Amino acid sequence: MSATTPDSLAELIEKAEKGPEGLPPVHKWEPDNQQTIDMRIARDGTWYYQDSPIRREKMVRLFSTVLRRDGDDYFLVTPAEKLGIQVDDAPFVATEMEAVNPEGRPRLVFSTNVGDAVVAGPDHPLDVVKDPDTGEPAPYVHVRANLWALIDRPVFYRLVEMGEAVEEGGETSLVVDSDGERFVVGRY
């Protein structure tokens, strides 16, 4: 858990509750100029252009604000063009999590590698998908408009440590509560 002062914690919660306000309305834009570009977001959240990592954090954050997912395809969208890009897994990575309990209501606040903050709950569910071949869990948190963040391993381990074992229908589940919702993070 990162060190967070009460003031910065309040700011984090406020940022998460505001949601995607101030982001461009990419869901409304349907430009005629559509093409695919050689841009990829790797599973670890690194953005690449023509196989070279984009090292300017501000540029990556800017690109993330015009990212849209249509079905299984990802696009950078402006009023003038819609550019198809490749995403290896999820476009964002949840790199931090704060467990807070304002007013006796537990909340899990996730921060991403591109500066988004969300409170896991009804609008931002958690989902853990098991690889059918390896059984390895892949945990995600919904960020906005059909865009998800892969929860990185250290954050997922913390989430599992916080989990509570609950017996349901003859099966034991590991659950966490956030913003009035209960999420299963593992079964055994």
pLDDT in tens, 66-106: 999 999 999 999 999 999 999 999 999 999 999 998 788 89
Find the mean pLDDT for residues 165-183. Answer: 93
Measured distance CA(148)–CA(23) in Å, rounded:
16
Cα angle for residues 138, 53, 34 (degrees, 5° grid):
85
Against a cut of 0.75, is the pTM above it?
Answer: yes
pLDDT band at 141 (very low <50, low <70, confident <90, very high): very high
Find the mean pLDDT for residues 1-7. Answer: 47
The domain ranges of the chain are: 17-87
Find the mean pLDDT for residues 135-144. Answer: 95
- Mean pLDDT across the chain: 90
Structure confidence at residue 168 (pLDDT)? 82
Instruction: Give whole-number Cα distances, 179 to 51, 109, 118, 172, in Å.
Output: 40, 10, 11, 22
Q: Could you tell me which residues come within 8 angstroms of residue 142 by beta carbon, excluding any fewer than 6 positions away?
A: 118, 123, 124, 125, 127, 148
Looking up tokens 């989430």, which residue turns up? 159
pLDDT band at 21 (very low <50, low <70, confident <90, very high): low
Given a contact cutoff of 8 angstroms between Cβ atoms, the answer to whether 46 and 97 are in contact is no
The CATH homologous superfamily to which domain 17-87 belongs is duf1285 like domain (3.10.540.10)
Find the mean pLDDT for residues 15-34. Answer: 77
- Enter the tokens of residue 170: 């003859």
Find the mean pLDDT for residues 118-134. Answer: 95
* Burial class of residue 169 in the structure, from the number of CB atoms within 10 Å of its CB (0-12 exposed, 13-18 middle, 19+ buried): exposed
Q: H or E stretch including 62?
A: helix 57-65
Structure confidence at residue 3 (pLDDT)? 47
Structure confidence at residue 1 (pLDDT)? 42
Q: pLDDT for 49-61, tens place per residue? A: 999 999 999 999 9
Structure confidence at residue 11 (pLDDT)? 58
